[in-house]
Amino acid sequence: MTLSRRRFLGRAGLVAAGAGAAGGVLAGCSTDTAPPPAVVPFRADHQAGIDTAAQDRLAFAAFDVVPGSTRADLVALLSTWSAAAEAMTAGRPVPGENDDQNSPPADTGEAFDLAPGNLTVTVGFGPGLFDARFGLGAKRPAELAVLPALPGDTLDPAISGGDLCIQACSEDPQVAFHVVRNLARLGRGTVVTRWTQLGFGRTSSTSTSQVTARNLMGFKDGTRNLKVEDPAAMSRSVWVDPADVPDAGWLAGGSYLVSRRIRMILETWDRDVLSDQEDVFGRAKGTGAPLSGGEEFTAPDFRKTLATGTPAIPLNAHMRLAAPENNGGTAILRRSYSYTDGIDQTTGMLDAGLFFVAFMRSPSQFVTLQTKLGGGDALNEYIRHTSSALFACPPGVRAGDPGDYWGRALLEG
């Protein structure tokens, strides 16, 4: 497959990549003339893929543990997954024999010649993992529960929830897909894939080094997002503090992940006039500046009024309702992506929008914001929330401890 063909698949192939794909990743051998691979360390205090500058491509999968599996099976699964993820993020094949002619190869091989592209692999544990099956109920964080019904929800249970999740992010779509494929393959017999989602074109800037990206509605997204270079903000809003989880210390230093599949009704949006579109977001479409004036990063003035006496930033504008200063300082780290899953066969309209991913210290942060947005956001006319999930992401795998793996403190502590 040529490079141009692979890039085409990374873009056009997303049209058919909504639910049910399992895929694998491997970043591999480079030639003497190739640039050095961009590698994000796998072992750290926090899992990579949270405080990593957002990459351009996403492969996300949720899994259910199969009936009859034991706690020992979970230990084996997460040990195997951790070793495979560490190898792939470093640009190596999944551990095992790859040249035995009489056995399936240890790695599926579609990323042998590709650089990691800042590949990160992040794992999360869903509420269902803490039911009676594995004896983990006493270690369930009090806040790890199915999210409550929220205004505007039109959720499809088939693409919501899950016992475990994997988030793979890279600058290369084939590398990210390869991770999900290989981990799903390695998990057979213990987990089954519940749902998957591919994402392209990051729609949230998570680093001060990144230009603010645009969503499929054409607006800059994430101008006021938390930035990973701000450790005080990350500690305040993203990382779980030991005091937060007195009965679940295994999660200290980790974070909660909320995912939402938000379909955009683009045909309706595309017929709306520019002034209405800008009022919906509260920003100028071209520059991203707040409607109260200034440049993209100018702080919005929510008190400013027009000559007519109406607020410069409408009362139901998305940015006004989501602003931390209007929500008691509540902020989350958004790490979202655009998606397209082809055509809705019922309506003939595009099935496309935002695969929202956010990390936070407490799920209540998201519930607070979405309750407000769901009840009065002008954007609601053009979007539908069709999928929802919550996962607890443990801290990172420790450096210098070859026996450590994702969730060891939970399963063996």
Q: For the segment 300-343, what is each residue's pLDDT rounded down to a tens digit? A: 999 999 999 999 999 999 999 999 999 999 999 999 999 999 99
Q: For the segment 341-397, what is each residue's pLDDT rounded down to a tens digit? A: 999 988 999 999 999 999 999 999 999 999 999 999 999 999 999 999 999 999 999
Angle 71-89/173-186 helices, nearest 10 degrees?
A: 150
Strands (E), 215-336: 220-221, 255-264, 333-334
Name the percent of the chain in helix, strand, coil, to the closest 5.
Answer: 30, 20, 50
Q: Are 178 and 25 in contact (CB under 8 A)?
A: yes
For residues 257-285, average pLDDT: 98
How far, in Å, CA of 86 to CA of 90, rounded? 6
The first and second tokens of residue 108, run together, are 């599926």
Determine if the pTM surpasses 0.85. Answer: yes
| Residue 240 Cα distances to 225, 249, 268, 393, 394, angstroms | 19, 10, 40, 10, 9
Helix (H) or strand (E) holding 296: none
Percent of the chain with pLDDT over 70: 91
Is the pLDDT assigned to residue 176 strictly greater than 60? yes
DSSP annotation of 43: -
| Residue 400 CB burial class (10 angstroms; 0-12, 13-18, ≥19) | exposed
How high is the mean pLDDT of the chain?
A: 91
Question: What is the per-residue pLDDT for 37?
Answer: 61
Is the pLDDT assigned to residue 76 strictly greater than 70? yes
The first and second tokens of residue 99, run together, are 């040249």
Question: What is the per-residue pLDDT for 141?
Answer: 97
How far, in Å, CA of 77 to CA of 412, rounded? 14
CA 120 to centroid of chain Cα atoms: 11
Question: What is the per-residue pLDDT for 99?
Answer: 83
Residue ranges per structural domain of the chain: 3-28+39-412
How far, in Å, CA of 147 to CA of 132, rounded? 20
Q: For the segment 92-103, what is each residue's pLDDT rounded down to a tens digit? A: 999 998 888 889
Residue 22's pLDDT band, with cuts at 50, 70 and 90, is very low
Write the secondary structure of 346-406 as one string of H (helix), E (strand) and C (coil). Answer: CCCCEEEEEEEEEEECCHHHHHHHHHHHHHHCHHHHHEEEEEEEEEEECCCCCCCCCCCCC
Q: For the segment 205-225, what is each residue's pLDDT rounded down to a tens digit? A: 999 999 999 999 999 998 999
